[in-house]
Chain A
């Protein structure tokens, strides 16, 4: 009897709490509305351009360099254009993403953006249910096949940035050869990759091609970690590569593991996602990264003007989406800045293509035709011819990379991931 009473009491308490919660919540919305008076008025007149609300879904908090890159761009773009924004963090790549998206819709967001590959389908699910809201997703691959008017993918031709960073790496190798540190045929680059995923393959291949465009004898070894963020694994991988005689390291994974290993060993490092100069003053050369600000500004602009957002938007050097950090003069070879600028101009003008098929071979032969898996399916069926005009047309058929060719000169040390 007592137990029943206890349960009843507990329930009463709970409901009281809940009721209390509901009323307080009303108060909260009131105060929130009061805080953003102008925007509220705008919302009443329904999707009037000047009262936009942008919702962001991030996989991790600001401690992840990957997510921080998005957060900073979001803040800059929204503040610049006077758009209110809401952030949801940390949202795993599961149903939580769908829940977060719905919650953002309920909060009145007009555009919702998610930053991680695994978010895509959950975001898509929300997009299907809410055609009145625009959904944008970075790194995804499904927008062009799903053909939803309100679902969009975006990426940037980061392979161009990697290519430019590769030039800096090649020049560094040349400098070291000239200084007699090692023989030309020993110019081996080490690369720490996350997965054997097209985005990674495209990244290290373009980096390698950039380096080889300057240092003809360069070769590369790639070590995969099987994780996008695993500091220990990335550090170990970098150390393995250094021990195998790699003279320069670069990485495509999100922790400080590889740069730290390089600084400890005194091996030059070309970084990614932002400068690691502070932690690695002696070995950091340069870093490429995607600047998402132009994309966010573009999306906001489209919605404001009532224009359709591109299904697949690929940022380039020209849009300001692909950027390099300042070159660290202390570690970089002389003339690096100039060489990069020169190559950059050629890339922008179209004179130079990163994946120019005359610059690399596959199993000893030049690539003349290649079917890539552009349209996602479970069997990974190649479906689209991507070689045209003598180059591999990366990021032209969809924004996310699909270059997954194993070219000569690059050796994968482990391929289980």
Chain B
């Protein structure tokens, strides 16, 4: 093809963005690792420039906060598990493109239900029955909290994002109400530790380790979630509905049915997370017992591309950073407050999420001959 003189005048952009076909898995991981490294460097520069603190000391503090001693490491693992289970909970809904941002509310009502059982049934039923009640109530509470927006979505096509968000506020205020109603000293909002002396309804220690049972439960659920999503007919239907409702209709899937079933599972798992938080960790109910996991879990799930095993990695990473950040904020040799350490966490996560762009797309720079032509 003969190049015409006009073509030289064409202002071609410096680069364009091209979607990649497939990328070898090792290359994808190389990009991710590079992203983490670049993030660390960027954070170091920002720290140095903005605060004048030694970034190496800051990273040391981070590692110290996360895995500084065995208690910290166990705490890290337990919190990873607790974030992971919420991540697992929101995943079926997200995979179905049901934007469930109501995990917070679903967890809170699970916590509330568990607390209710611990307060009401302790001493009245055998411990085993108490546990069954606690788990059942938590599952049902979470499921109902998700079912309400689910039904509206399936039958009236309401916006589930807003709906689930609003359900969060209702749950939060319900919890605030009961914190007041059940408070230890009349007129306050502190329930205090439930069954502190008898430890009834507390998740038992395993081999003297109080973290282990939580972790084991979540590990089992992780495997189950993986199998459910990947090998069950339900999981298959979720994938089809999420990819294309048209395809689902084409092959005769009852989309409404799948939506409702999936949000029930999603909500029930959130409820279970609430049970673990109250029975396994806090042994009390407060308005921040959920600790922001409902929203953080969305990042966990998306970063892992909805793969439960990758989610182990992403939730670990986030908890690691959070734990590290607390230490950064309180380390005496660093004059940094927790606002700054949140910035650090934010930047690192941003890089990790952002690098997915470079895994999916390639940046094609202006080819050389064309560039030369443009200079003429």
A–B contact via C-beta, under 8 angstroms: yes
Q: Per-residue 0/1 for B182-202: is the Cβ within 8 Å of any A Cβ (1 yes, 0 no)? A: 001111111011001000000
Q: How far is the CA of A106 from the CA of B326 in the complex (A)?
A: 16
Task: Select which of A14, A25, A121 is within 8 A of B60 by beta carbon.
Answer: A25
Of the listed stretches A197-205, A257-265, A347-355, chain B binds A197-205
The answer to whether the Cβ of B296 comes within 8 Å of any Cβ in the partner chain is no
Q: Per-residue 0/1 for A1-27: is the Cβ within 8 Å of any B Cβ (1 yes, 0 no)? A: 011011101100110001011101101
Residues of B contacting A29 in the complex (Cβ-Cβ under 8 angstroms): 64, 68
Residues of B contacting A376 in the complex (Cβ-Cβ under 8 angstroms): 184-185
Task: Select which of A14, A28, A62, A95 is within 8 A of B61 by beta carbon.
Answer: A28
The answer to whether the Cβ of A35 comes within 8 Å of any Cβ in the partner chain is yes
The answer to whether the Cβ of B284 comes within 8 Å of any Cβ in the partner chain is yes
Closest to A22 in B: B67
Task: Select which of A35, A118, A125, A378 is within 8 A of B190 by beta carbon.
Answer: A118
Residues of A contacting B99 in the complex (Cβ-Cβ under 8 angstroms): none
The answer to whether the Cβ of B176 comes within 8 Å of any Cβ in the partner chain is yes
**Are B63 and A21 in contact, CB atoms less than 8 angstroms apart?**
yes
**Are A380 and B291 in contact, CB atoms less than 8 angstroms apart?**
no
Q: Per-residue 0/1 for B14-31: is the Cβ within 8 Å of any A Cβ (1 yes, 0 no)? A: 000000000001100100
Task: Select which of A6, A61, A196 is within 8 A of B29 by beta carbon.
Answer: A6
Task: Select which of B193, B286, B339 is within 8 A of A125 by beta carbon.
Answer: B193
**Are B288 and A7 in contact, CB atoms less than 8 angstroms apart?**
no
**Are A198 and B187 in contact, CB atoms less than 8 angstroms apart?**
yes
Residues of A contacting B333 in the complex (Cβ-Cβ under 8 angstroms): 32, 35
**Are B60 and A28 in contact, CB atoms less than 8 angstroms apart?**
yes
Residues of B contacting A87 in the complex (Cβ-Cβ under 8 angstroms): 330
Residues of A contacting B196 in the complex (Cβ-Cβ under 8 angstroms): 121, 124-125
**Are A93 and B190 in contact, CB atoms less than 8 angstroms apart?**
yes
Q: Per-residue 0/1 for A95-139: is the Cβ within 8 Å of any B Cβ (1 yes, 0 no)? A: 110010011001000000000011011101100000000000000
**Are B288 and A94 in contact, CB atoms less than 8 angstroms apart?**
yes
Residues from 62 to 95 in B contacting A, C-beta threshold 8 Å: 63-64, 66-69, 71-72, 75
The answer to whether the Cβ of A89 comes within 8 Å of any Cβ in the partner chain is yes
Residues from 249 to 286 in A contacting B, C-beta threshold 8 Å: none
The answer to whether the Cβ of A219 comes within 8 Å of any Cβ in the partner chain is no
Closest to A13 in B: B33
The answer to whether the Cβ of B116 comes within 8 Å of any Cβ in the partner chain is no
Residue total for B at the interface (Cβ-Cβ under 8 A): 49
Task: Select which of B72, B282, B338 is within 8 A of A95 by beta carbon.
Answer: B282
Q: How far is the CA of A20 from the CA of B326 in the complex (A)?
A: 19
Residues of A contacting B189 in the complex (Cβ-Cβ under 8 angstroms): 118, 195, 226
The answer to whether the Cβ of A373 comes within 8 Å of any Cβ in the partner chain is yes
Residues of A contacting B282 in the complex (Cβ-Cβ under 8 angstroms): 94-95
The answer to whether the Cβ of B121 comes within 8 Å of any Cβ in the partner chain is no
- Measured between C-beta atoms, what is the minimum distance from B226 to chain A in Å? 11
**Are A117 and B190 in contact, CB atoms less than 8 angstroms apart?**
yes
Residue total for A at the interface (Cβ-Cβ under 8 A): 58
**Are A20 and B63 in contact, CB atoms less than 8 angstroms apart?**
yes
**Are B185 and A86 in contact, CB atoms less than 8 angstroms apart?**
no
Q: Per-residue 0/1 for A137-179: is the Cβ within 8 Å of any B Cβ (1 yes, 0 no)? A: 0000100000000000000000000000000000000000000
Of the listed stretches B44-52, B143-151, B308-316, chain A binds B308-316
**Are A121 and B338 in contact, CB atoms less than 8 angstroms apart?**
no
**Are A95 and B59 in contact, CB atoms less than 8 angstroms apart?**
no
**Are B193 and A380 in contact, CB atoms less than 8 angstroms apart?**
no
Q: Per-residue 0/1 for B285-318: is the Cβ within 8 Å of any A Cβ (1 yes, 0 no)? A: 0101101000000000000000101100100100
Q: How far is the CA of A18 from the CA of B283 in the complex (A)?
A: 30
The answer to whether the Cβ of B180 comes within 8 Å of any Cβ in the partner chain is yes
The answer to whether the Cβ of A90 comes within 8 Å of any Cβ in the partner chain is yes
Closest to B72 in A: A103
Task: Select which of B29, B68, B193, B313 is within 8 A of A121 by beta carbon.
Answer: B193
Q: How far is the CA of A2 from the CA of B307 in the complex (A)?
A: 14
The answer to whether the Cβ of B329 comes within 8 Å of any Cβ in the partner chain is yes
**A94 with B289: in contact, given A7-B309, A25-B67, A87-B330 (CB under 8 Å)?**
yes
Q: Per-residue 0/1 for A332-361: is the Cβ within 8 Å of any B Cβ (1 yes, 0 no)? A: 000000000000000000000000000000
Q: Per-residue 0/1 for B238-257: is the Cβ within 8 Å of any A Cβ (1 yes, 0 no)? A: 00000000000000000000
The answer to whether the Cβ of B233 comes within 8 Å of any Cβ in the partner chain is no
Closest to B326 in A: A88
The answer to whether the Cβ of A82 comes within 8 Å of any Cβ in the partner chain is no
Residues of B contacting A245 in the complex (Cβ-Cβ under 8 angstroms): none
**Are B185 and A93 in contact, CB atoms less than 8 angstroms apart?**
no
Residues of A contacting B26 in the complex (Cβ-Cβ under 8 angstroms): 9
Residues of A contacting B185 in the complex (Cβ-Cβ under 8 angstroms): 141, 197-198, 373, 376, 380
**A28 with B332: in contact, given A7-B309, A117-B190, A226-B180 (CB under 8 Å)?**
no
The answer to whether the Cβ of B345 comes within 8 Å of any Cβ in the partner chain is no
What are 5 A-B interface contacts by the 8 Å CB criterion? A10-B310, A10-B313, A25-B63, A28-B68, A118-B190
Known: A9-B29, A93-B288, A198-B186. 6 other contacts (CB 8 A): A6-B25, A21-B63, A89-B330, A90-B338, A93-B190, A95-B284
